Every structure is written in C-alpha cells, then in structure tokens.
Amino acid sequence: MPENTKQQDKNESLTRRRFLKSSGIALGGLAVGGALGSLIPFKEKTSVENVKSDKKTENYNLALMYFTQEQFRMVEAATERIFPADDNGPGAKELGVAYFIDHQLSGDWGFNSREYMQPPFFKGEKVQGYQGRIRRREIFDIGLRELQNYSLTKYKKNFIDLSDEEQDDVLTDFAEDKVNLTTISASGFFTMLRSGTLEGAYSDPLYSGNRNMEGWKMRNYPGSQMAYTDVIDKKFTVIPPVSLKDHLGH
Amino acid sequence: MAKKLPKVDVVIVGVGWAGGIIAAELTKQGLNCVGLERGKERKTEDYFMVHDELRYALRYEMMQDLSKETITFRGNEKIRALPMRQYGSFLLGDGLGGAGVHWNGQTYRFLPYDFEIRSKTIERYGEKKIPKDMTIQDWGITYDELEPYFDKFEKMAGISGEENPLGGKRSNPYPTPPMKTTPVLEKFKKAATNLKLHPYNRPSANLSEAYTNPDGVSRAACQYCAYCERFGCEYGAKADPVVTVLPVAKKTGKFEIRTHSNVRRVLKTGNKATGVLYVDTTTGEEIEQPADIVVLTSYVFNNVRLLLQSGIGRPYDPKTGTGVIGKNYAYQVQKGSATGFFEKEEFNTFAGAGSLGMVIDDYNGDNFDHSKLNFIHGGSIAISQTGLRPISNNKVPKGTPSWGKEFKENSIKYANRTLSVGGQGSSMPFKHHYLDLDPTYKDEFGDPLIRITYDFEEQDRQLAKYLNERCVEIMKEMGADQIDSMNELGPYDITTYQSTHNTGGVIMGADPNTSAVNNYMQMWDAENVFVIGATAFAHNGGYNPTGTVGALSYRAAEGILSYKQKGGILA
C-alpha cells in the first residue's frame, strides 16, 4: 500500500507540474486564483501522514441506509443481470452497485426532493414525462415486492433463487411491461434500476459503487484527471484512473 | 407591507451573462446598479470537486430546484399542460452567473440571414415559401449593425477561433487562436474537405491560451479536462460572468449583488416601471426596490413570466395572432445526427472541452438552395469533443440489447470507439407556439408557472431528415464501420435532453405591433423597461445562442445609457 501511495503521489505532482506549465500560469506569471490556488499546495501537507500510517483502512460505508436485507439481495441480483461480471471485469455486484442505489435512495434522489411534486396529478402524454405522486424509494419498495411476487407466481421461487436465465426472463417481462402493475409502471421501475446500475458502475467511488475504480478501468476511463493537455492531440492513450479522493491528497 | 429600499438608477433582475454585461457597462459609466439573483453566490473555488459526473451532470447540482419552480408543457392547445416534474429536454440555470456558468462555451454569431429572415426568404423564393402559420419576421436590426457588439462580446470573453468561411463579415479576428485540432477533429475536417464543404474550428469560450481582456481581467488556458457542460470551470478558463464581467462591475463600487433575492413583480405606474418587488428567500421578507430603469435579464421563461404577472406589455393571443408577450417561442431541432462505430481505432474521447469541435455551415441559414426543399433555414453540423463521461455515454450499435451480457460487452468495447456528428437545427416560430401563464400549477409563492405550448412541425421533420442525411454522408467519409442514425424526428419530447436553447417570448423588431422590444431591447409599451436575452430572438438559428445574446446585451447597455440621458423611445 505505501508503495502504491508513493507512486501515486509522484504521478500526482507530475500532473500538477505539467498543468502549471501548460496553463501558462507559472510561465506567464498571471495572478489566477480560484480553485487553482487551493489545488496546488494541498498535496504536500497530507502525503507525509499517509506514508506513516500502515493501518488497514476499513470501508465502513458498506452498510445499508434504506433497503432491508432482502431488498438489498434482490437489487444485487437484478443489477448483476443488467451488468454481469465477464471477461472485461466485475459486474454490478462486485462493483457495489446495490450499495450505491441504497445510499442514493436515502437522500435527495430517493425523496425526489429537488423535483416538482405538487398536485394535482393527472395522467399525461408520454412526452410530458413522469406525472406520478410516488417517490423513488416507494417505487423501489413496490417494484421489488412485485418482482418477488412475479417470480413466485411464474417460477414458484424467490427472485434471488432463480437461475440467471429465469432472472433475465422476469426482468425482460418488467422491461417490456408484460407485468401488469397498478401503482407503478413496470418498465419505469426497470428503467430506474438500469440507470441506477450504470450510475453505480461508473460514478466516482465516493458514492460506494465503482469499487476500486474497477468500472472505469474496464473501459479505460481515466476518472477525475486535472488536465488532458498532454494527450488531447495524441492518439488513444491509456491513463490509470484517479478519483476525487485523490484530489484531497489522501 | 413590503419594506421599501432607497431608489437606485437601475435594478437588474437575474445576474447571468446579460445581467453581468449590463452591470459592467452601466457601472463603468457611473450608474448605480443593484443585481437581484434568486440563487446563491458562486465562485471558482466552488469547483474543487467538480469532476463528479453523478453530482453535476445527473443530479443537476447547478440547476434550478424544480421543487420550487418549474414550467408546464403541452404539445398543443387541446392537451392539458402538465408540470415538468424532472429535468429532461433543457436545464434551467440558477445562482450567480446563471446558465452562463454551466454552458459549454460554444460562441457563434447568428448569420446575416437570421436577422432579415423574412425579407431574404421572400426575396429569394417568394412569399409562398413561408407556410401560413409560420410567423418568421425580421429582427429590426441587421448583422452589420450588430457586428461591433459581437466583437465586443468576443473580446471580453476571449473567444478562441478562426474565421467561418461562410459566416458574416468580421471587423477583427478572434482575440485568441482556435483550440487544438485533435485527431477526432482532424478526421472530420478531412472528410468535410473531401466532400467540398467548409470546416472551421468551433469558436470557443474555453480559452486556447492565457488571455487578458480589455477590462484587464486575466484568465488561464483550458486544460481539456472534459467537464464543461453542466459543470463550473475550476480554472476560470471557460468564460462565465463570475470570472469576467461581474468583477469589473464590482470594482466600480457602483454594483451591489443581492443573492437569494427572487423577484415576483415589476411594479409600475401608468406606462412606466417604478421598481421591483422581491422576496429575500433566506428570511421570507418582501422587499421593494425602486429604480429609474428596470432590466430583466433572467432566463427566457422568467423574463416572460414576470411581464405577464406584472401586467406589462400586451399578452400574445394565439387565436388572433395579436399581442406580443409570449409570442414566437422557439426551440431547436437537435436530432439530425449520425453515430459512427470504429472497429480499428480508439480515440481520446474521454478528454475534451465544451467548445472543442469542428463545424460546417454549408447547410446552415440560406447558405444552400432551398428551392426544392420543404423547409427554410438549416443548421450547423459539427463534431464535438466535449469529453464522453462514462455514465451518460454508453452507445452500442443498433441491434444490441439495452442491458445484460451483450450490452455490457459492446458498451465497453465501443466506449472509446464512437464518434458522433450532429446537426444543430434552427427552429422557426409558429402562430400556435407560445408561452403564457398556467391556469393550474403554481410556484413556491403561489404564482402561476409559465406554460409552454410547442411541438415539432413539418418544417422541423424535413429539416431533421435533411441534416441527418448530411451527417451520415460525413460519417461515411470519416470511415466508420457502422453508422446509426435517427429515422424520424417524432413529437417534441420534454423528457430527453436536447438543448438549453429556448428562445422568444419578448421578441425584438421594428414594428411595435408585432414585436415587444426595439433593437435596444427597450419595451415599446414601457420605455424604462429593458428585456434582454434569447427572449428577444424572433426565431432560433442553427447555432448556440449565447454569442448573439452577448451582442444584444452590449447593444442594450448602450441603449440604456442613452435612455438615462435623453429618455424616450430609442428606435
């Protein structure tokens, strides 16, 4: 670990030096403040402490804020079918997508708190968008319950006990609205599950998904780099990813 | 009873590009200005953690909180308008600098044809070319008259670019050289040149090199970090009001910005405004700010809404086509595009800048013959390298399922092997496309939301199809192994992002009967009210609107200074 950190520190300061050069700040002597000012000296203060500490860091984020254990398992299984492990790398389960969705549901997104939720509620045209009164966390409660019910009816088994093919079959029926639900749209729920999966696979690891940046590594996405001035006019370049955590220097 | 403050020369409602330019220009000349901004303070230091796709691009960190205020929408008058409960088609800015902070920085000048669209269309094709309900009209100003103001905006912002071979005449070159021509752009340039088209580097507000503007404001060069649209720039390299015009206004000591100040009414006596009524949203207190001149510089929807709520100007009536406030709402036709998949090549498309691109205008405006075409105008066609962020960019060739094993394989395989050529189609106004107050839905204060009545027309379907075919031709020449593109435009759908280029509602013109403001953005019906922004566009062109909004803002600033001295209607 310390070895890695050192290497990373080295890479970081190189990037920073390169940035200063390419931005014309160091050369032109322009007084440019902003986030730049705070970015540049940050590193030196913290790196020393990091090297000293050899304690293993536990990830205390791997716990649930909203789902029941049963819901969590179902989300793990369903998202793994949407984004399965393969030769490219880990699937949704290993990336922590279910934790991501759980944590998102406990905040603004789960409560639709920055969306217009005032009555009256009318059914609209498709092009007018979502017009329901139910919020995302309730949609997940209902959707997961119905996913379970549908699995029990069709296969006499819990969703998580179905084979991969059977799980795909159930999810397809949801995606194609072959399941008739009264309170929510089956395909609407599936779409939310799918977009949550991609968000969990590829958002900054800060949000509990994309574990160890494995989602980014699979597709050679460099994550949160400060600058691309060195590669922008070059042929395809693989750059090891960095995350927002790296910008805080620990 | 609202608290009444001392009178100022000018009150500015909304502190984005237009508000910032007005503040800088007027305070330089000694006028006392107050800027009321409903959102929060913003500064470059806010963006230390900005490379966060989830927070900024998908959770809309910088956008207006829709729980407090949104718009309602219907395709036509027979349908019940319903609120836009979640973001989709366009993103409303909020906070200091407004949408001018989270834009890409693509900074065009509308074409000479745009400003005289009706006259020029009739001149070349006859009046019959214009469909019965299409309400295009000349803007009451020509490109040549507006040219010095474009120049001023470009110098202030430090626009990086090269001359558009098919654009209007320029008095000066761009203040900074074009952005880098990357392998992706080079590919497009070569293909377009082979096809005898006229490619040029997209004019960019992401600085190609360090720049000091005429006001003495210095900014660093763009780092191609790939987080522009929907994000603020942590380098201050992307021109936005907070790093350009606002510091200039503040330095005069004549400008006071009040954030968290949401204006609900323009107050008036007779045909003149006396000030505005606003709410301090941190305390709930109602405050009256009297002023000699009221300048509305909020986004399109709020400029129109404030006038309708305040009873200023004649509301538009779609039945008779009379009245002006809310008239000629237009949008854009963004769906004519082609996506190419390349088997043998990968690109650094994870890197980019908001305005990094290569453009052709051969199919824009009236740069091509429309005699045998069932539409007028056109659109710019471009390849853009804005940075493909991983959550939002998972293109797979047609026939791939949208989830599961094959989806994962293909989305990863093509993550860096996909290029898109897109048309930015113009949008013509129609008699039945307009903005008015919604009869049912309210904002957090109980004021009615603005209602959009709008759908795509045959003009748009034909235009989208035409641009789509041109995009496919270019993509073929670029050597893509597979090309996917749109089959049909379909109805206007508010749920999918297209562009935040909404226009019209308080349009400019030479005739008080058919326009709301003159070519100084001064209201015909209230001479001390100036309404600035894309609201003034009589139709929407085939470009991003900000360059033209900037030019109109400088023009309006000149008008306001002249009005302050002489009074009366200026044009």
**Three-class HEC string of B399-437:** CCCCCCHHHHHHHHHCCCCEEEEEEEECECCECCCEEEE
Considering only CB atoms, A247 lies closest to which of B49, B224, B402, namely B49
- 3-state helix vs strand vs coil in chain B, percent to 5: 25, 25, 50
d(CA A162, CA A77): 10
Torsion of CA B250, B253, B255, B261, to 10 degrees: 90
Mean pLDDT calculated for residue range B355-372: 98
Please name the member of A114, A129, A204 whose beta carbon is closest to the beta carbon of B54.
A204
Q: Is the pLDDT of residue A8 over 70?
A: no
Nearest by CB to B491, from A127, A198, A223: name it: A127
Which residue is it, tokens 């540049």?
A: A40
Residue numbers in B near A249 (CB within 8 A):
none
A119 touches chain B (CB under 8 A): no
Q: What are the φ/ψ torsions at residue B21 (nearest 5 degrees)?
A: -65, -45
Q: pLDDT tens digits, residue range B26-36?
A: 999 999 999 99
| CA pair distance A71, B520, nearest whole angstrom | 61
- The pair of three-digit structure tokens given for residue B327, joined into one six-digit string: 């008239």
Question: Which one from B102, B377, B433, B501 is the annotated catalytic residue?
Answer: B501
R_g of chain B computed on alpha carbons: 23
| A218 close contact with B: CB closer than 8 A | yes
- The predicted structure's pLDDT at residue B414: 98
pLDDT band at A20 (very low <50, low <70, confident <90, very high): low
- Is-contact B197 B157, C-beta < 8 A? no
Q: Would you list the DSSP string of B474-485?
A: HHHHTT-SEEEE
Decide: B19 and B241 in contact? Cβ < 8 Å.
yes
Q: Is B45 a residue whose pLDDT tops 60?
A: yes
**Residue spans per domain, chain B:** 3-566
Q: Please, how many CA atoms are within 13 Å of residue A181, restricted to the half-sphere of its CB?
A: 24
Contact residues on chain B for A38, CB-CB shorter than 8 A: 45, 48
Q: What percent of chain A has pLDDT over 70?
A: 77
Beta bridge partners of B436: B451
From B74, which residue of chain A is nearest by alpha-carbon distance?
Answer: A128
Q: What is the 3-state secondary structure (H, E, C) of chain A?
A: CHHHHHHHHHHHHHHHHHHHHHHCHHHHCCCCCHHHHHHCCHHHHHHHHHHHCCCCCCCCCCCCCCCCHHHHHHHHHHHHHHCCCECCECCHHHHCHHHHHHHHHCCHHHHCCCCCCCCCCCCCCHHHCCCCCCCHHHHHHHHHHHHHHHHHHHHCCCHHHCCHHHHHHHHHHHHCCCCCCCCCCHHHHHHHHHHHHHHHHHCCHHHCCCHHHHHHHHCCCCECCCCCCCCCCCCCCCCCCECHHHHCCC
What percent of chain B is predicted at pLDDT more than 70? 100
Q: State the Cα–Cα distance between residues B357 and B339, nearest whole angstrom.
A: 15
Say what the pLDDT of residue B487 is.
81
Look at residue A115 and tell me whether its pLDDT is greater than 60: yes
- Examine residue A120 and say whether the peptide bond preceding it is cis (omega within 30 degrees of 0): yes
Task: Tell me if chain B has a CB within 8 Å of the CB of A224.
Answer: yes
Nearest to B494 among A23, A127, A206 (CB): A127
pLDDT, mean of residues B69-80 = 98
Q: Which of A101, A80, A93 is nearest to A171 (CA)?
A: A80
pLDDT classification of A54: cutoffs 50, 70, 90: low
Q: With bands split at pLDDT 50, 70 and 90, how would you rate the model's confidence at A58?
A: confident
**In chain A, what's the furthest Cα-to-Cα distance?**
72
Q: What is the DSSP string of B33-53?
A: EEEE-SS----GGGGGG---I
Q: Give the pLDDT of residue B335.
A: 84
Q: What is the mean pLDDT of residues A44-58?
A: 54
Contact A85/B at CB under 8 A: no
Interchain proximity B67–A82, CB inside 8 Å: no
Q: What are phi and psi of B332, to 5 degrees?
A: -165, 155
The band of A3, judged by pLDDT with boundaries at 50, 70 and 90, is very low
Section B301-330 average pLDDT: 98
Whether B501 is catalytic = yes
Task: Judge: domain B3-566, CATH 3.40.710.10.
Answer: no
pLDDT at residue B142 is higher than 80: yes
Q: Which of the 8 DSSP states describes residue B536? A: G
Q: Which of B70, B235, B409 to probe the A interface (max A CBs under 10 A)?
A: B235
The beta-carbon neighbor of A34 closest among B235, B345, B440 is B235
**What is the chain B residue with the closest CA to A202?**
B391
- Comparing CB atoms, the residue among B54, B85, B351 nearest residue A228 is B351
For Cα atoms B378, B384, B385, give the angle at the middle one, nearest 5 degrees: 175
- Residue A223: strand pairing partners: A242
**Is the pLDDT at B554 greater than 80, yes or no?**
yes
Average pLDDT (A220-246) is 96
B314 secondary structure, DSSP code: P
Q: Locate the chain A residue with the closest alpha carbon to B45.
A: A35
CB B490 within 8 A of CB B461: no
Distance CA B427, CA B300 (A): 15
- Residue B435 identity: L
| pLDDT confidence of residue B35 | 98
Cβ distance of B223 and A228 shorter than 8 Å: yes
Contact: B183, A233; criterion CB under 8 Å = yes
Which residues from chain A sit within 8 angstroms of residue B70, using beta carbons?
Answer: 116
Mode of pairing for the β-strands spanning B218-219 and B211-212:
antiparallel
Q: ipTM of this predicted complex?
A: 0.96
- What is the chain B residue with the closest CA to A86? B405
On chain A, the residues whose CB falls within 8 A of the CB of B396 are none
Predicted confidence band of residue B486 (pLDDT cuts 50, 70, 90): confident
Residue A227 contacts B where some CB pair is shorter than 8 Å: yes
Query: Of B400, B403, B452, which to mutate for an interface test with A (greatest number of A Cβ within 10 Å)?
Result: B403
What's the CA gap between B548 and B145, in Å, rounded? 13
Distance CA A76, CA B153 (A): 52
Inter-chain touch B416–A236, beta carbons under 8 Å:
yes
Q: From CA B425, how far away is CA B375, in angstroms rounded?
A: 11
Q: Indicate yes or no: CB of B49 within 8 angstroms of CB of A120.
A: no
Closest chain A C-alpha to B298 CA, distance in angstroms: 20
pLDDT tier, A18 (very low <50, low <70, confident <90, very high otherwise)? low
pLDDT reported for residue A57:
74
Domain coordinates of chain A in residue numbers?
Answer: 2-57+226-247, 69-214
- Whether B172 shows a pLDDT value over 80: the answer reads yes
pLDDT attached to residue A35? 62
String of DSSP letters for B339-402: EEE-SS----TTSB-TT-EEEE-TTSTTSS--TTSSS---EEEEEE-S---TTT-----TTS-S
Q: Do A88 and B409 touch (CB under 8 A)?
A: yes
